[in-house]
Structure 1
Amino acid sequence: MSNFRNYYSGNYILKICVYVILITLTACSPKLQLSGSDKALYPISSDLSKDQTIIDYYLPYKLRIDSMMNEIVAVSALEISKGRPEGPLNNLMADAMADAGKSGNIPFDIAYTNYGGLRVPLPQGNIALFNIFELMPFENMITTVQFSGSDMKQFFDYMASMGGDPISGATFKISNKKALDIMINGQTLDLGKTYTVLTSDYMANGGDGGTIFLKATGRKEYNIKLRDALLLYMQKKSRAGIILNPKIDGRITVE
């Protein structure tokens, strides 16, 4: 029992000593204060000398990323660019989204994304992975929302007012910035029906002036990036030996 008491008594004293030392060190530590600062502009140009230390640090990562980003994912017969009211890139992107929806067993009526989200054209010939990232640098996810038939008409009017946007599964005409002759999967728009639109979370949040999406209901988000939907679609075409050659097919016309 004596040894037991001595052991715990010694540990108790040791703890007190450590505590006192910590308090002393903390109390004696200096408190630094900023005495002043000078503002200056440092121009960045090609005249700046290279910092080899920084280069040596990031170069292994750069080489690894370059080897991945230079991978050829598809071949195109022509430069694929966007356009209004319709463009080859518009149709390619919307069809890729629709294909991702079908492959993922996601219920939807039409696929849609915004024109402004297509940042650069895809080159003629070999298309590398970095081209896909340049086209879609965002982390937007596939999302579905539901519209009543009357709100669906307003949604098409929104697209018409913008001059046309990428869509798949629907056709319509633009007349005086309004949508006419709206067909969804070959059927005339039914104002009494509820429709599901497969789009991006950005647009589902009302982005790019799409305030009509604030009327949407039944929102569901899926763990599929729009960029990945396009990439997988193009890789599927490449594996099948298909050279990309998207066309303007009359999905959106101007009267």
Structure 2
Amino acid sequence: MHQRIIALVLLFSVVACSPKLKVAQSKAQLYPISANLPADSALETFISPYRKTLDATMHDVVALSAVEIQKGRPEAPLNNLFADAMFFSGKKWGLNFDIAYTNYGGLRIALPKGEIHRYQVFELMPFENMLALVTFSGKDMQAFFDFMAQTGGEPISGASYTISGKKATDIKINGQILDANKNYTVVTSDYMANGGDGGVIFSKALKRDDTPYKLRDALFLYLDYFKNNGIQLNPLADGRIKIK
């Protein structure tokens, strides 16, 4: 027993007296990374089998397109394709909402004419954002459309409107005129629901429900529908957003 007490006392003494290290000085240095750096053979051997598996998956053809699919304002084929994919997949997953919306800035590349590969969908939507359901009052729904009008137009599905002097007019949701006395639910990304990309309007939401579904997976599910039915993509700017 005494030996244990002595051992504990000695251990405490060592810990208590151990020196505290402090940084005397530091110097920042830039280490550029480029294709000119010599390859690390050990690292290459380690990652090679993973790269082969990933490359095989990422080069899968997920759709065929009759045209190059580009984004633009107030609307464009890519805007409509992505928003329609959110609407289609959200309904397939049993989500309850009125319209689909995502931010214009989140669409990073155009999709090519011909074969569209899986990696290109990741390039289009490189973020791990999830779908979220946001409910607005009718009054704040008008403000939400005004927010989209002020940017010059954003990707939407299930609705139409006219931009007039940076205000939204002639708003229709699923073919019905916006009712100021009714609540509406928007399916969007958690990024926008958090107020990203200037989306301060989302702070006025009556309710928010997060989902387990990725925004990117909504597009994959939509593309699967076209591929499985042997249909080429040919999205159009269909007049859902007009400028007066």
**TM-score normalised per structure 1:** 0.86
What is the rounded CA distance, in whole Å, between the counterparts of 2:180 and 2:156 in structure 1? 19
Out of 152, 170, 178, the residue aligned to residue 189 of structure 1 is 178
Q: Residue 127 of structure 2 aligns with which residue?
A: 138
Q: Residue 143 of structure 2 aligns with which residue?
A: 154
Q: Residue 3 of structure 1 aligns with which residue?
A: none
TM-superposed deviation, 1:133:
0.6
TM-superposed deviation, 1:165:
0.5
Out of 216, 222, 225, the residue aligned to residue 211 of structure 2 is 222
1:106 paired with 2:95, answer yes
Gaps of 5+ in 2: none
TM-superposed deviation, 1:138:
0.9
Out of 177, 187, 202, the residue aligned to residue 213 of structure 1 is 202
SS in 1 for 2:209: strand
Distance 1:202 1:39, change over 3 A: closer
CA offsets, 1:147-198, max 9 Å, x none? 1111111111111111000111111111111111111111111111111111
TM-superposed deviation, 1:33:
6.4
Out of 57, 76, 81, the residue aligned to residue 87 of structure 1 is 76
TM-superposed deviation, 1:199:
1.0
SS in 1 for 2:172: strand
What is the rounded CA distance, in whole Å, between the counterparts of 1:96 and 1:39 in structure 2? 46
What is the rounded CA distance, in whole Å, between the counterparts of 2:212 and 2:108 in structure 1? 22
What is the rounded CA distance, in whole Å, between the counterparts of 1:77 and 1:19 in structure 2? 78
What is the rounded CA distance, in whole Å, between the counterparts of 1:146 and 1:159 in structure 2? 16
Distance 1:36 1:172, change over 3 A: closer
Distance 1:241 1:214, change over 3 A: same
Q: Residue 63 of structure 2 aligns with which residue?
A: 74
1:174 paired with 2:163, answer yes
Out of 47, 57, 61, the residue aligned to residue 58 of structure 1 is 47
SS in 2 for 1:120: coil
What is the rounded CA distance, in whole Å, between the counterparts of 1:74 and 1:46 in structure 2? 32
CA offsets, 1:92-121, max 9 Å, x none? 111111111211221111111111111111
- Report how many aligned residue pairs link the two structures: 244
TM-superposed deviation, 1:48:
2.5
What is the rounded CA distance, in whole Å, between the counterparts of 2:26 and 2:8 in structure 1? 38
Q: Residue 199 of structure 1 aligns with which residue?
A: 188
**TM-score normalised per structure 2:** 0.90
Out of 211, 227, 232, the residue aligned to residue 221 of structure 2 is 232
Gaps of 5+ in 1: 1-11
TM-superposed deviation, 1:50:
2.0
